[in-house]
Chain A
Amino acid sequence: MSADTFPKLLIEQAGKYGSGKVALREKDLGIWQSVTWAEYFKKVKYFSLGMISLGFEPGDKISIIGDNKPEWIIAELAAQSAGGFGAGIYQDSILKEVAYIINHSETKFVIAEDQEQVDKILDMQEELPGVKKIIYYDPKGMGTYRSDLLAHFPDVIGLGREYEKSHPGEFEKNVENTKSSDVAWICTTSGTTGFPKLAMLTHQNLISMATNLGRVDPKFDSDEFVSFLPLPWVGEQMMAVASGLLFGLTINFPESVESAQADLREIGPHILFSPPRVWENICASVQVKVMDASFLKRAVFNACVPIGRKWSEYKFEKKTPPFYFTLLYTLAYLAVFKPLKERLGFTNIRSATTGGAALGPDTFKFFHALGISLKQIYGQTEISGISCVHKNGDINPDTMGEPIPETEVKISETGEILSKSPAVFPGYYKQPEETAKTVINGWLHSGDAGYLTPEGHIVVIDRIKDVMSLIDGVKFSPQFIENKLKFSPYIKEAVTVGHNRDFIIAMICIDFGIVGNWAERNKINFTTYTDLSSKEEITDLIQKEVHKVNKGLPENAKVRRFVLLYKELDPDDDELTRTRKVRRHFVEEKYGEIIEGMYGGRDSIGIEAIIKFQDGKTSTIKTVMTVRNV
C-alpha cells in the first residue's frame, strides 16, 4: 500500500471501489442508507473545500461532538485533507471539560451534531474566543437559530462545490501535501488531574497499528463493522477510521444509541471490538433473560453452559476434546448457543476483541462457551490503542496475548510494562513535561504492573499504583477481585480496599435495572437507587454473591466486609473516567469516612452527601448504609 495518510488512502480506496461498494451505511428513518466509496470521497472533498472557503487553514484544528454518524468521520477526514487535525469530545463530558478541550486544542471549527450540542457551545461562546464556526448536521430544532457562527453541514458541502469551480484541483493538491508524520487526530485520555490529556497520533502511528493488527487478526473488504462506541475513544478510531480505510470495511452507524443493539443484530457484523463493559452488559442481560425464562428453557440453558465452558477449556489448553464430548458440545451448540448467537447478532462474528481494561475471566469464558473466539487486546491510547493481542488458536483467558508485529514489549526493573513500536505517539498536545514522563528513550511507560509468561504472553496485574499489599505482606490486585464481583449480574461496580490493612473490604454498586427487576419480582417496594440499595433483602442478595466470589479467592484475599454504596459511581463526579474505569484513589478519598467506618467495626454508617446533577444543581442525600460481614 503506497498511501501513507488517511486522505491518500481514501482517494486510493475510492478509486479502487468507486460506486460499486458501500463504504458507510447509516440507519435513517428506519432504512439503512448507503454511501458508496465514490460518494464518501466526494463528501469529504467538498466538506474539506467548504471549510477552507469558510476560513480553515492548514494547521487549524476542529473539535467534534456528537453521536456516531457518517458526518463525524467525514469531518475528521476533511480536516486532515485540509492540512489540519482535531479532537473528538465525549458528549457526556461536563461543560468545563468541553471548554477545556476546545481551548487547549485551539479549535477553530466545532462540528456539533444537533441542537443539544450546539446549545452547549453557544452558551459558552464567551469562554471560547477561538471558535469561528459551529457546523451542525442534525437540523432538528435549529430553524429559529440566528447566529453568524452557525452553518449547516450540507450547506458547507455546497460551499465546497462552489469553491471548487474557482479553485480546481486544490483538494487533490492538499491531499498530496499531507505527510505520514503529520498529526492525524487527537485522542483524549483520562489524566490524573481533572482534565484529560490530549494525545496526538500521526497518520503513520495509526496506519502502522492497523496494518500490524491486521497481520494477526486479518480483516477483509467484505467485512461489516458497526460503529456504536464513542468515536473520541482510541478503540473506535482504530476500527471505524484506521482499519476501515485501510481494509475497505463497510462501517455501519446505528439509528440512535438506544437502538444500537437491535441495529447491530440487523447488520450481523464480522468484527466487534468493545471495552469489557459492553461484554459484561451483554453477559448480564443474557443471564437476566434466562432468569425470566420458563423452567424448561432455564434448565436447558443451565445444562448447556457448563458443557460450553468445558469446551472452551479444552481450547485454551490446546487439547483435542474426546469424540463423545465433541458430540455433546455440538448438541449444546445447536440447542442453545447457536440460537443465542443469532439473538445477539453475533452469527457472523469472526473477530471479537475486548480492550481498554481487564475483562473478568468468567465473562471471557462465557463467550468462548458460545463459540465466539473472544480475544484480549492490550494497549494504551499513546500506542494508538494496541501493543498485544491473542493470536488465533493461542488464547489464554489469564493473559493479554503477544505483541503484534513491529512491536517490542518488555518489563522494567520496577515491574512496569514498557512497549515500543512505530505506533508510539509523538506526545501530548502542548504538554512536553507529561510526554517526557511517558515516553523515555522511545519506550512507552504504561503504568501497568505485569510480567511475561514463558510462552511470551503478557500478563497484566493491575495499575502499578493500585497493586496493594495487606499488612502481612500478601500482595493482591483489587481489580482481580472486583472483576470477579462484577461477574454477578446484580453488581455493576465494585471497589475493594485493603492496602496496609488487616483484611479486604468492598464498596459495591448494585445494577439498578437488574436488581430493580429482581426486587419487583420479589415484591419489594422501592423508589430510588439510594432506597433500593439500602433494603435489607438486597443486602442479603449481594451477600450471597460475595460469598460465592469468596469461594474462588485465596484465604488472604477474601472480601470480609462490604457495603452497598448509596449512589452509582459516575464520571461526572470524577469517580470514573469517561471510559468508565474506576479512579481508585479519588474514590478512596471521597468515601474515606465509609472505609474508616468499615474498618472501625461499625455495623452501620450514616451518610449525608451532596449530589451534583449534570446541569450544575445540587441536592443533599441522607441515608444509612449497613455493613455486612461475609
Chain B
Amino acid sequence: MGEGCVQEEVILKGEQLTLSFGGITVLFYVSFNVKKGEIFSIIGPNGAGKTSLYNIINGFYKPQKGKLIFKGQEITHLRPDRIARLGIARSFQNIELFKHMTVLENLMLGSHIHIRYGLLKSLLYFGPCLKEEVHHRKRVENVLDFLEITHIRTKPVGTLPYGLQKRVEMARALCLDPEVLLLDEPMAGMNLEETEDMARFIIDVNREWAKTVLLIEHDMGVVMDLSDRIMVLDFGEKIAEGTPDEIQRNAVVAKAYLGEPGGAVLEK
C-alpha cells in the first residue's frame, strides 16, 4: 500500500540506538531509516522494546549509545517539547487525555505548542490573540472533521466509548500538525468495524495529509495491509526489516513469534 507517496528522502534515522535500565538492556544497537511519506511498522513480541523506542524518539528516554536524526538534525538529547515542536507527535497506547474536559478542549490544548502569544498578551483577548485562537480552532475543526468525530465535539472525553477515545487520542496528536506521527497500538481493544475505520483514517492521514506514520500494532492483518515496510524487534534486537511480503516469509521472524519455524501468526 501507500503507492506513490513514499519518497527516497530519509526523514527519521536511528543509528545504533542502545538503551538499558540498570542491568537490563531494552534496546541493543538498533538502526533504522524511515523514509518520508511511508507507513513504517514496528512489530515484535511483548517486551521487545517497541514502546521504549517510541519513548526515545519523542525524547522521554535518552539512549546510552547511538544517535537519532530527524531531517538531518540530531535530536537524541532534545527535550520532549522541543521534539514535538520540530514535528514529531505521538498517540499513546493507554489513552492519555483529560477525561473531564471536552473533546474540543483536549484538542485545543493539544495544539498549544503552536500558540505564539504570551501570558500578558492573552490578557487582552481581542486583536492578535483572537486571530490566533480562530486559526487554531480551524485546524482543530479540520482534524475533527477528518476523523469524523464532529458529533462529539462538546462531550467530555470520559463519557465516550473506548473506540472513540482512541480516535480522539489520535486527533490530539494530529492537532500538533506533525510531519511524523507515532501511533502506539491504535487498534488495541477495538471491534472489527472500529478497526477498519481506524485503518482507513491511517491511510488517509498518510496519503491525503502526507504524514509519515510510524505504527506499533499487534493486529497482523492491519500491519500487513497498511505498511510500506516493517521492522521486527525481539528482546531489544532488530531481527528483520522489509516489505510485508518479505517479513511474512522470514523464518527468523516466525521463530521469534512461535518459538519455531512456520509462522501461521503472520498470515493475514
Contacts and interface: CB of A to CB of B under 8 A. Distances in A.
Interface of A: 28-31, 140-141, 143-144, 255-256, 258-259, 262
Contacts of A262: 151
A260 to B, nearest CB: 9
B153 interface: yes
Contacts of A255: 150-151
Contacts of A259: 150-151
A262 B146 CA distance: 20
A256 B151 contact: yes
Contact of A29 (B4, B142, B148): B142
B145 interface: yes
Interface string B79-94: 0000000000000000
Interface string B110-144: 00000000000000000000000000011001101
Interface residues of B, number: 17
A30 B148 contact: no
A30 B140 CA distance: 10
A429 B138 CA distance: 46
B219 interface: no
Given A30-B144, A141-B200, A143-B207, 20 more contacts: A29-B138, A29-B141, A29-B144, A29-B145, A30-B137, A30-B141, A30-B150, A140-B204, A140-B208, A141-B204, A144-B208, A255-B150, A255-B151, A256-B148, A256-B150, A256-B151, A258-B151, A258-B152, A259-B150, A262-B151
A318 B204 CA distance: 61
Nearest to B153: A30
A493 to B, nearest CB: 23
Residue among B4, B145, B146, B200 with most chain A CB within 10 A:
B145
Nearest to B142: A29
Nearest to A146: B4
A28 B144 CA distance: 11
A29 B139 CA distance: 9
Contacts of B145: 28-29, 140
Nearest to B200: A141
A141 B205 CA distance: 9
A266 to B, nearest CB: 11
20 contacts: A29-B138, A29-B144, A29-B145, A30-B137, A30-B141, A31-B141, A140-B145, A140-B146, A140-B204, A141-B200, A143-B208, A144-B4, A144-B207, A144-B208, A255-B151, A256-B151, A258-B151, A258-B152, A259-B150, A259-B151
Nearest to A141: B204
Contacts of B153: 30
Interchain residue pairs A-B with the least CB separation, the first 6 = A258-B151, A259-B151, A29-B141, A143-B208, A30-B141, A255-B150
Nearest to A254: B151
B38 to A, nearest CB: 15
Nearest to A30: B141
Contacts of A30: 137, 141, 144, 150, 153
Nearest to B3: A144
Residue among B142, B146, B148, B204 with most chain A CB within 10 A:
B204
Interface string B192-213: 0000000010001001100000
Contacts of B151: 255-256, 258-259, 262
Nearest to B2: A144
Nearest to A257: B151
Residue among B4, B148, B150 with most chain A CB within 10 A:
B150
B163 to A, nearest CB: 14
Contacts of A31: 141
Nearest to A29: B141
A31 B145 CA distance: 12
A560 B221 CA distance: 51
B106 to A, nearest CB: 15
A141 B151 CA distance: 20
A120 B151 CA distance: 25
A258 B161 CA distance: 15
Residue among A29, A31, A255 with most chain B CB within 10 A:
A29
A256 B151 CA distance: 7
Contacts of B142: 29
B24 to A, nearest CB: 40
Nearest to A144: B207
A319 to B, nearest CB: 44
A113 B207 CA distance: 20
Contacts of B152: 258
A381 B148 CA distance: 34
Residue among B141, B151, B204 with most chain A CB within 10 A:
B151
A255 B153 CA distance: 11
A314 B142 CA distance: 52
A16 to B, nearest CB: 34
Contacts of A29: 138, 141-142, 144-145
Nearest to B210: A143
A144 B153 CA distance: 29
A143 B141 CA distance: 20
A592 to B, nearest CB: 32
A140 B145 CA distance: 10
A246 to B, nearest CB: 32
A4 B52 CA distance: 71
Interface string B213-241: 00000000000000000000000000000
Contacts of A258: 151-152
A143 B4 CA distance: 12
Contacts of A256: 148, 150-151
A28 B150 CA distance: 9
Contacts of B148: 256
A262 B208 CA distance: 30
B189 to A, nearest CB: 15
A56 B218 CA distance: 50
Nearest to B146: A140
A538 B207 CA distance: 48
Contacts of B138: 29
A144 B204 CA distance: 10
A120 to B, nearest CB: 15
Contacts of B144: 29-30
Contacts of A28: 145
A258 B152 CA distance: 9
A28 B152 CA distance: 14
A189 B228 CA distance: 47
A38 B138 CA distance: 27
Contacts of A140: 145-146, 204, 208
B13 to A, nearest CB: 27
B130 to A, nearest CB: 15
Contacts of A144: 4, 207-208
Interface in B48-64: none
A144 B152 CA distance: 29
A259 B146 CA distance: 15
